[in-house]
Amino acid sequence: MNAPASRAEWSSIWRAIHRTLATPGMLPLAIVAAIVIATISTIARRLSFVASVLGGDLPIALQVEFLLLYLPVIGGLPEGLPDVAGLLLAVLAGVTVAVLVDETVTGDGSSAGSSRRDAGLVLGVLSVVVVGLGPALLAGLAGLTGATGLLSTLPLGGLECSLLGVPGMILAIFWIALEGEDAPPGPDSDDG
């Protein structure tokens, strides 16, 4: 299994994304997945704030209002590098989710070399989980080591762990795209 190196291989990634988002229902799925992942990531980065709001004596309406202010899109425009990076990661993760769902729905998995497709599906799922839960994982590790104050000094506010999922998502889409291009023609195709 390889990584994209040539311009043609990077083009195959873009073609796979375009083909997926042009499939009926996949663009709305990508948008919803991006919003859900951005929300999970935002809550994970501000877990102590969420816990203090929910555990406080505020009326439920104020608790909901405070929490909504911190959610992406609902709470306003992103402010600063961590919010912008979080939204970009969520968009890439949403597109990856759409590619994974499209492949599992339309792909038959019976073509030669389907191990690359399966590896792409597994890597894609794991990478999306890392992007969504990366800040919580980093906060948990920092809490175990007693370095929770270190998180506030990081330039992306804990999203650094989420960045580990980016190469995995790109590789997953690439492997799935290669599988689609390398698949032999089916019995109903005009090529064979």
Percentage of the chain surpassing pLDDT 70? 79
Count other C-beta atoms under 10 Å from residue 134's C-beta.
Answer: 24
- The pLDDT value given to residue 52: 81
Spans of all domains in the chain: 14-181
Would you call 24 helix, strand, or coil by DSSP?
coil
- The pLDDT value given to residue 191: 45
- Which residue type sits at 21? L
With bands split at pLDDT 50, 70 and 90, how would you rate the model's confidence at 26? very high
With bands split at pLDDT 50, 70 and 90, how would you rate the model's confidence at 156? confident
- Which residue type sits at 177? A
| Residue (of 185, 186, 162, 177) closest to 11 by Cα position | 177
Query: Which tens digit of pLDDT belongs to each residue from 90-131?
Result: 899 999 999 999 988 887 554 545 787 888 889 989 998 888
Instruction: Write down the residue that tokens 């104020």 correspond to.
Output: 62
Q: What does the pLDDT average to over 153-162?
A: 76
Residues 6 or more apart from 3 whose CB is under 8 A from it? Answer: 171, 174
End-to-end CA distance of the chain: 27
- The pLDDT value given to residue 183: 46
Residue 21 pLDDT more than 90? yes
Residue 74 is given by DSSP the state T
Q: pTM (2 decimals)? A: 0.75
- The pLDDT value given to residue 28: 95
- The pLDDT value given to residue 142: 75
Residue 73 pLDDT more than 70? no
Tokens coding 160: 């650094």
Query: Which tens digit of pLDDT belongs to each residue from 167-184?
Result: 999 998 988 887 665 544
User: Considering the chain, what is the average pLDDT of its residues?
Assistant: 78
Maximum CA pair distance of the chain?
Answer: 70
Instruction: Write down the residue that tokens 């202010």 correspond to.
Output: 69
Question: Is the CB of residue 179 less than 8 Å from the CB of residue 117?
Answer: yes
Pick the more confident residue, 56 or 90: 90
- The pLDDT value given to residue 108: 54
If you count them, how many residues does the chain have?
192
